Amino acid sequence: MVRLVVLRYPFLHPSIRYKKLARSLQSKCYLISTGKSNMATLQLASWATNLTYTNLTTGVLTAANKSLYNWAGCAIGGYGSQPAPKIALGTTLTAFSGQPTSSILGANGSISQGFADAQIAAFVNGIASYVDDYDDTHLQTIIHPAGVVASALLAVAEAEGSVTGNDFVTAFVAGVEAECKVGLSVYPEHYDVGWHITSTVGSIGAAVAVGKLLNLNTTVMQQAIGIAATQVVGMQELFGSDTKSFHVGRAAQGGMMAVLLARHGYSSSLQGLEAKYGWLHVVSTRENATAYFDQLGEIWEIEKNTFKPFPCGIVMHPTIDGAIQLSNETHDKDLSTDDIKSVELRVNPEVMVLTGKTDPQTGLEAKFSIFHTAAIGLLYGEATPSQFTNEVVKNQTVVDLRKKVNVTEDDSVPTDAAYVTLEFEDGRKLEKHVEHAKGSIENPLTDAELKKKFMEQVTLAIGDSRAERAYETFTGINNMTDVAKIRGLY
């Protein structure tokens, strides 16, 4: 296959000075390029509509199971831990509510509190599952895939009824593969200009998942992908605020809406991804969809999914890991954190781009502060949701230690590694090199650790006995005869 790579070179991007010339050259290059890159939407839609449960390997099913129950734990726990999900539910119920068919996973009490119509449920569960930054991560793209897809999928499954666990899991995998393959096609350029990749690709993944669940044919699935793709949502400027989780809720809602519209004849474009002014070219200076779409069903991105041990930006996890280890070592050697003169960090430059807030004022801002996370790892010997409250952020001991943290950016340090050095007032030093952070592919959470994380989040929201039932429910979702009955099981 011949494909002109000049098509998406940055010097041809329409943002350069000579826009007319750029567009003219770009158009000519596009017209003479050939191959499946011109059929990306069709390729994705065709693969998804033909996917069956029997195509899923044991490894894929295991990864899907972990991704789903980790998502459920984050959604249940997140609903109770932050105000954003409740604000979103209260606001949308008043203005837009329909029949309460679908679960708000973390809400207790009456039907009116625990259920909403499908589009509100997708929106609120998306927010709740993401608001604590405690979710899953496809490390190759920094996409957090489950929140958008599962939130949309469960809402529709409950509204439709009679959805088997096998069908639900198959649709979930289709959605995760779609968003990750699309993300790989434009990463890192798409992310580097400031898009929030989880939500920008998430609406496409949600559309593919819901479209699969509702048995759309290939052409209608293409239309749904186009409608989802035009709903690009999410900028990194909003990280550290409630609006970061809004991105995920809105992407879940938008992907679901795309399918419902396409299902009833709403048109878009059959080339919503690859056309000259389609998603791939509008949101990035480079795309390589062919290379990744050709791998659909052969290389499974869901098997690369990882799960966060700490509720904050993933690029800080190596530093936290090192700080916690040094906290333990400090105590073992009868040293005191009070005597720390300086904390020296050597990290990948991406860490400061994404998490460089030097003086966070809220718990949400602290989730994007390498200075805060280093301090709490050293002071508390852990980094749980309890260390990301407004109270801890303003604690004077934490503030004082944050000011002693110095960061050196080093391109040679991988994003999942960090060097942490403590210098004490008496001149002694302690050093720790974290090669692969806890929760990475090379150093994953164990099954026991992942269950512990789930139980800690969910118990705070709904109590011990219900948390255990919720764990059994979501880990057994692929064996259900009707996923619509899921809320009644816990």
What CATH number should be reported for the domain holding residue 365?
A: 3.30.1330.120
Which two three-digit tokens encode residue 427?
């001149």
Which CATH number does the domain housing residue 161 bear? 1.10.4100.10
Q: Say if 445 falls within a structural domain.
A: no
Ramachandran region, residue 194 (left: φ > 0; alpha: ψ -120 to 50; beta: rest): left
pLDDT of residue 344: 99
Contacts of 213 (CB under 8 A, 6+ apart): 153, 156, 157, 160, 163, 167, 168, 171
Class of residue 470 by CB neighbours under 10 A (exposed 0-12, middle 13-18, buried 19+): buried
Residue 173's domain comprises: 37-309+453-489
DSSP assigned state of 434: E
111 lies in the same domain as 18: no
287 lies in the same domain as 322: no
The Cα–Cα gap between 258 and 276 comes to 21
Q: Say if 87 falls within a structural domain.
A: yes
249 lies in the same domain as 344: no
CA distances 273 to 15, 175, 251, Å, are 20, 15, 16
Q: Say if 447 falls within a structural domain.
A: no
How sure is the predictor about 487, in pLDDT bands with cuts at 50, 70 and 90?
A: confident
- Which residues are bridge partners to 229 per DSSP? none
Place of tokens 């509510």: 97
The Cα–Cα gap between 132 and 144 comes to 12
The Cα–Cα gap between 178 and 170 comes to 12
First and final C-alpha spacing in the chain:
53
What pTM did the predictor assign? 0.90
Q: For 175-232, what is each residue's pLDDT tens digit?
A: 999 999 999 999 999 999 999 999 999 999 999 999 999 999 999 999 999 999 999 9
In single-letter form, the type of residue at position 189 comes to E
123 lies in the same domain as 185: yes
The Cα–Cα gap between 355 and 285 comes to 24
In single-letter form, the type of residue at position 397 comes to T
In single-letter form, the type of residue at position 249 comes to G
Which two three-digit tokens encode residue 422?
């403590």
DSSP assigned state of 440: S
CA distances 164 to 144, 211, 258, 313, Å, are 25, 15, 23, 35
400 lies in the same domain as 477: no
Q: Say if 226 falls within a structural domain.
A: yes
φ, ψ at 432 (rounded to 5°): -145, 130
Nearest-5° Cα angle at 220, 53 to 252:
70
How sure is the predictor about 37, in pLDDT bands with cuts at 50, 70 and 90?
A: low
H/E element, 407? strand 405-409
The Cα–Cα gap between 321 and 323 comes to 6
25 lies in the same domain as 157: no
The Cα–Cα gap between 211 and 263 comes to 8
The Cα–Cα gap between 468 and 454 comes to 9
Structural domains of the chain, count? 3
pLDDT of residue 30: 36
74 lies in the same domain as 192: yes
283 lies in the same domain as 400: no
Q: For 131-153, what is each residue's pLDDT tens digit?
A: 999 999 999 999 999 999 999 99
338 lies in the same domain as 482: no
Q: Say if 59 falls within a structural domain.
A: yes
Half-sphere exposure of 380 (CA within 13 A, CB side): 20
Q: For 87-138, what is each residue's pLDDT tens digit?
A: 999 999 888 889 999 999 998 754 456 899 999 999 999 999 999 999 999 9
Q: Say if 398 falls within a structural domain.
A: yes
Q: Say if 133 falls within a structural domain.
A: yes
Burial 389-404 (b: 16+ CB within 10 A, else e): eeebbebeebeebbeb
**DSSP H stretches of helix in 187-196:** 189-192
17 lies in the same domain as 49: no
E strand residue ranges, 412-471:
418-424, 429-434
Residue 390 has pLDDT above 90, yes or no: yes
- Beta-carbon count within 10 A of 362 CB: 15
322 lies in the same domain as 288: no
In single-letter form, the type of residue at position 226 comes to G
Q: For 424-470, what is each residue's pLDDT tens digit?
A: 999 999 999 999 999 999 999 999 999 999 999 999 999 999 999 99
359 lies in the same domain as 264: no
Q: Say if 439 falls within a structural domain.
A: no
